[in-house]
């Protein structure tokens, strides 16, 4: 306990000394979220990084998120405490794969979920997040859209978007593990509960949901709903803030397997070590930064309806 207190004090001192801000994704370990200056979803954190006057950004999340922050703030130093914290879904499509798919569909715009590498974003027309996928797909001036890399988010967008859609066959190994039977079991044990899930879940799970939204959308939903019990279909790190912000409500994760191992790699010790040594700086080549930024900026111009 004493060691943790000392570590937290050292971390605060290092952040001050380096002129740094600490950002943590909603799936990070509780103690990392607790120590962070800002917590949020992938896009909100990248925007927070860009808006902050801090010159150094410590991004506690996975690699594509730190890369997005570096793309949006090329003049800042972006550090990821664990260089090995990747996103398996982002790695399921390479730039070479996308070049091949684009050649099969001349003129069809590519919508890239932010869970992609900078090289893939650079080859795409517009990015989207789990919060704005439908609005982004509908904003594209074409009847057809090719969406990457998540088949589940693409399937979800295709349910309501008014476009002819095709997509890449990628998925999030964590969300894909959630099975309809587990949700049905949780609902049977809590008949008064509502079920909210992330669009990265399989369509068979999305079919059972009362509400489908991004991690940030879940905080809003939890505050607004009249329901006192909420079954949550996403990574279990979401519970930290849900419980803190809604002490009168009960939150249930329907499966013990909803843990993203990459999101859980980062410890407070890693954060302090990265600042002590100013190591694990995330950089993106300039030409790639410009092209990837164009895709992110195109998304940011889409009116927010969420
Ligand atoms: P959010 O955009 O909702 O933060 O989701 C990112 C992610 O990796 C979900 O698995
Ligand atoms: Fe990637 Fe899934 Fe982990 Fe999110 S939860 S970072 S999509 S592997």
Do 28 and 50 belong together in one domain? Answer: yes
Calpha distance 137→303 (Å, rounded): 12
Calpha distance 21→204 (Å, rounded): 40
Pocket probe mutation, ligand 1, options 129, 156, 233, 236, max atoms within 8 Å of Cβ: 129
3-45 pLDDT tens trace: 688 999 999 999 999 999 999 999 999 999 999 999 999 888 9
Do 294 and 154 belong together in one domain? Answer: yes
Say how many Å lie between the CA of residue 64 and the centre of ligand 2: 10
Q: Helix, strand or coil for residue 230?
A: strand
Quote the mean pLDDT of the chain. 96
Residue 306 lies in a domain: no
pLDDT average, residue stretch 202-211? 98
68-103 pLDDT tens trace: 999 999 999 999 999 999 999 999 999 999 999 999
CB 197 within 8 A of CB 212: yes
Which CATH number does the domain housing residue 50 bear?
3.40.50.10800
Residue nearest to atom 1 of ligand 1 (CA): 41
269-282 pLDDT tens trace: 999 999 999 999 99
pLDDT for residue 231 is more than 70:
yes
Task: pLDDT band for 242, please (50, 70, 90 cuts).
Answer: very high
Beta strands in the chain (DSSP E): 20-25, 38-40, 56-60, 77-79, 110-113, 126-128, 144-148, 164-167, 194-197, 211-212, 229-233, 250-252
Say how many Å lie between the CA of residue 1 and the centre of ligand 1: 31
Q: Where in the sequence is the domain holding 162, given as residue range(s)?
A: 89-172+288-300
Q: What is the pLDDT of residue 162?
A: 87
Number of domains in the chain: 3
Calpha distance 185→71 (Å, rounded): 43
Do 134 and 115 belong together in one domain? Answer: yes
Do 168 and 190 belong together in one domain? Answer: no
pLDDT average, residue stretch 215-238? 96
pLDDT for residue 189 is more than 50:
yes
Dihedrals phi, psi of 115, to nearest 5 degrees: -75, 65
Do 35 and 76 belong together in one domain? Answer: yes
């Amino acid at each position: 306990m004493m060691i943790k207190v000392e570590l937290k004090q050292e971390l605060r001192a290092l952040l001050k000394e380096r002129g740094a801000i600490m950002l943590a994704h909603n799936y990070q370990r509780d103690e990392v979220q607790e120590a962070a200056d800002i917590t949020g979803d992938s896009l909100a954190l990248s925007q927070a990084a860009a808006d902050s006057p801090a010159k150094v950004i410590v991004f506690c999340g996975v690699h594509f998120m730190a890369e997005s922050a570096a793309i949006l703030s090329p003049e800042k130093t972006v550090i990821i405490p664990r260089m090995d914290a990747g996103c398996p879904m982002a790695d399921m499509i390479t730039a070479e794969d996308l070049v091949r798919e684009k050649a099969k569909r001349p003129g069809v715009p590519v919508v890239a979920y932010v869970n992609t590498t900078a090289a893939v974003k650079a080859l795409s027309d517009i990015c989207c997040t789990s919060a704005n996928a439908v609005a982004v797909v509908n904003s594209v001036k074409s009847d057809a859209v090719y969406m990457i890399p998540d088949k589940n988010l693409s399937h979800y967008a295709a349910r309501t978007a008014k476009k002819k859609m095709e997509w890449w066959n990628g998925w999030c190994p964590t969300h894909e593990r959630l099975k309809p039977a587990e949700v049905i079991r949780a609902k049977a044990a809590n008949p008064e509960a509502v079920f909210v899930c992330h669009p990265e879940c399989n369509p068979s799970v999305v079919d059972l949901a009362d509400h489908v939204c991004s991690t940030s959308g879940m905080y809003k939903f939890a505050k607004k709903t009249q329901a006192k019990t909420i079954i949550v279909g996403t990574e279990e790190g979401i519970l930290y803030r849900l419980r803190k912000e809604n002490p009168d409500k009960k939150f249930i994760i329907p499966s013990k397997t909803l843990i993203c191992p990459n999101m859980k790699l980062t410890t407070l010790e890693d954060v302090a070590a990265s600042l002590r040594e100013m190591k694990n700086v995330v950089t993106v080549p300039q030409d790639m930064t410009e092209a990837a930024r164009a895709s992110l900026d195109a998304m940011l111009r889409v009116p927010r309806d969420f």
